[in-house]
Structure 1
Amino acid sequence: MKVLVTGTAGFIGSHVALKLLERGDQVIGFDSLNDYYDVNLKKARLARFMEHPNYTHIQADLADRAAVEAAFATHKPQRVINLAAQAGVRYAAENPHVYVSSNVTGFLHVLEGCRHHGVEHLVFASTSSVYGANTNMPFSEHHSTEHPLTLYAATKKANEQMAHSYAHLYGIPCTGLRFFTVYGPWGRPDMALFLFTKAVLEGKPIKVFNHGKHKRSFTYVDDIVEGVIRTLDKVPEKDAGWRGDTPDPAASGVAPYRLYNIGNEQPVELLRYIEVLEQCLGRKAQMELLPLQAGDVPDTEADVSELIGAVGYRPQVTVEEGVANFVRWYKGCYDA
């Protein structure tokens, strides 16, 4: 297939692009290489496949309507995986406008491209953060997500609703994936594992919020990629997703549209995550224990039964194995 992947210089996007190329697909990569974090890391990710004969790269911003329109018109992708977004929950307090520009306006441009160029299937990234104030766990796609606690989560909730409207109005099959705390090699420098590893190796303290007591469905990047690609290959149809007079949030009786959680079913306490990292590094962490940050939720736990039923997805990599893989990559990449 010919697949347009946005965010190919990003953490998940680079892994997805490489996997698609390995299985023989043509990939059109689209990324702005913005400076939210180290651009050299983004370039290093791209370097793994930039010269592949089936890869074409476009450096542009999704908020640039003309650039997105040109990408669709020139390359005519059959399917699209939208992973580009302004990432990070806390950065929204400093720069809220970029979230709307990238995550809402940019996503509209992708939807319009799909609409006007006969795209067979759009898979797009959402987030477990959309569950917001919901504390009913494990989080299920059938739960309400009407109360996001951060602007980032609100933009991703908007993506889900925008995609449904386009699926209904124009018959574009759309699948949204709610990612749960992804980690692994080539990860983002602003995420906990990267920050913790760097600090411990430098003998500096790490900030541990909620005194390390919260739990997360930490999900290794290879498991995420497997789920993304299996989902890409399963085009949704209209679903009898109704409960009485109320639509099911996870499906739609009026549109080819589905939402899935994608994450590890076994949540791990942050203190255990740090303990595993200490074992891999052979060093103890100096922990600065702090209260829960505003906008953070105490726990996340993924119910992935829907995705298991649909595509046979089940995460395989344990935290012990995944953290060890990250540490090996980090030491090799940064000569640590």
Structure 2
Amino acid sequence: MRIAITGGCGFIGSHVVDRLVAAGHDVLSIDLTDKYLNPDAEHARIDVLDLPGLTSALAGREVVYHLAAMADVEQVFADPVRAVRVNIDGTETVLEAARRSGLSRTVLASTVWVYGAALTAEDQLDGEEQELDEHVPIELEHSGHLYVATKLAAEMLVHSYRELYGQHFTILRYGIPYGPRMRDELVVARFVQAALAGRPITIAGDGRQSRNFVYVEDLADAHVRALSPAAEDQTFALEGSTGVSVRDIADTVDELLGPVTIEHIEARTADYAGRRISSAQAKRLLGWSPRTNFADGVGRYADWYRAATGS
């Protein structure tokens, strides 16, 4: 299949390109950088806001994965205007370019952060928080962080293009990804790098914030599976299988690379506290479930980081 992927040289995108190429697909990576470019993929240096350029690049392609985004929540908080332009306007540009080029489907990268707006804390079952799935209603007044708002808006655009123009889609709501090539700002990377450098590990807040981390190569596998006809016009939550608190991350790094010193600082603004989210639909329709346990994934990242930096 002839596939294009925006953000194909980034952290997640480069792994998706690697997996698509390995599966035998003809892949075009659209990215302003070539940092992690797969040598067996084509490359086009085009901005996601460049409608004529994107339309031309997508000509002859069948599916586009839209992963290019402003994903660092701190940068989104600091520069909301640019975040809206890249994450919302960029999605609109990709959808319109795909429509004009006659692509069969657009695959959108979204996030489980949107579930923070799904239900209030009072919505519980037998004293326990409900496990949320792809069909839970979203309460826009609880969207919280601007990053979440941009992803909700992007999802709404995808649904609008399906309703108005018949453009098919797949939405992939990522759990918290980690692994080789991840940004230095991500919590697992920060903790590993601090441990390797002999610096203290710093935890924002009390460390009880829980996430279901998903190893990036497992996430990339889901993208290949999402080409299945069963994924057309569907949304999938791609969560890790086990909740891991920030303190658990620190303890894992300590066990693998320690001993380390742990310090606490003030919590981040509008941080995602984590929700119980089901990936049952991805397993049922795509045959996907995460395979890499957290400690193994952290160890693989540490090995990659040492090799990449010579440390």
- Tell me if TM exceeds 0.5: yes
Letter in 1 for 2:180: P
Question: Counterpart of 1:172?
Answer: 167
- Please tell me the residue identity of whatever aligns with 1:269: S
2:94 counterpart (99, 110, 115): 110
Aligned to 1:63: 49
| Length-normalised TM-score, structure 2 | 0.92
Which deviates the most, 139-148 or 303-312?
139-148
Q: Distance in 2 between matches of 1:106 and 1:80?
A: 13
Q: CA deviation at 1:259?
A: 1.3
Alpha-carbon deviation of 1:279?
1.9
Is 1:273 paired with 2:257? no
Counterpart of 1:14 in structure 2: which amino acid?
A: S
AA aligned to 1:213 is R
Superposed CA offset, 1:222-255 (max 9, x none): 1111111101223555xxxxxxxxxxxxxxxxxx
Partner of 1:19: 19
Counterpart residue number, 2:296: 321
The 1:264/1:137 distance shift into structure 2, 3 A limit, reads farther
SS in 1 for 2:229: coil
- Gaps of at least 5 residues in structure 1 are 34-41, 238-256
Equivalent residue for 1:252? none
Q: Is the 8 A contact 2:207 2:246 kept in 1?
A: yes
The answer to which of 9-18 and 299-308 deviates more is 299-308
Residue in structure 1 matching 2:133, options 120, 137, 140: 140
The DSSP-based 3-state class of the residue aligned with 1:232 is: coil
Query: Counterparts of 2:23 and 2:231 in 1: how far apart (Å)?
Result: 22
Partner of 2:107: 123
Query: Is the Cα contact below 8 Å between 1:265 and 1:301 reproduced in 2?
Result: no
Give unpaired runs (5+ residues) of structure 2: 122-128
Deviation of 1:300 after TM superposition, in Å, equals 3.3
Per the TM alignment, residue 137 of structure 1 is displaced from its structure 2 partner at its CA by: 4.2
How far, CA to CA, are the matches of 1:144 and 1:158 in structure 2? Answer: 15
The 5 Å alignment of 1:1-336 reads 1-33=1-33, 43=35, 45-46=36-37, 49-50=38-39, 52=40, 55-73=41-59, 76-133=60-117, 134=119, 135=121, 136-145=129-138, 146=140, 147-234=142-229, 236=231, 257-281=233-257, 283-336=258-311
Root mean square deviation, CA, Å: 1.6
Over residues 89-113 of structure 1, what are the superposed CA-to-partner deviations in whole Å (9 max), with x where a residue is unaligned? 1212211122111111111111111
Supply the distance in 2 between the matched residues of 1:105 and 1:296 (Cα, whole angstroms): 24
Q: CA shift at 1:262, angstroms?
A: 0.6
Distance 2:227 2:145 in 1: 28
* 1:157-192 Cα shifts (integer Å, max 9, x gaps): 011110001111121111111101000111111101
Q: Number of paired residues?
A: 300
In structure 2, C-alpha distance between the alignment counterparts of 1:287 and 1:95, rounded to whole Å: 30
1:142, distance to aligned residue in structure 2 (A): 1.9
Residue 137 and residue 265 in structure 1: after superposition, are their counterparts in 2 closer, same or farther (change >3 A)?
farther
With normalisation by structure 1, the TM-score equals 0.85
192-201 or 216-225: bigger deviation: 192-201
Please state whether the residue corresponding to 1:21 is helix, strand or coil.
Answer: helix
Q: Secondary structure at the match of 1:57?
A: strand
Superposed displacement of residue 132, structure 1: 2.4
Q: Which residue of 2 aligns with 1:38?
A: none
Letter in 2 for 1:156: K
| Other structure's SS at 2:226 match | helix
Aligned partners of 1:280 and 1:327 also within 8 Å: no
Tell me the alpha carbon deviations over residues 98-130 of structure 1, each in whole angstroms, 9 at most, x when there is no partner.
211111111111111121222112111001111
Counterpart-to-counterpart distance in 2, 1:101 and 1:64: 12
Residue 290 of structure 1 aligns to which amino acid in structure 2?
I
Structure 2 CA distance for partners of 1:14 and 1:278, relative to 1, 3 Å:
same
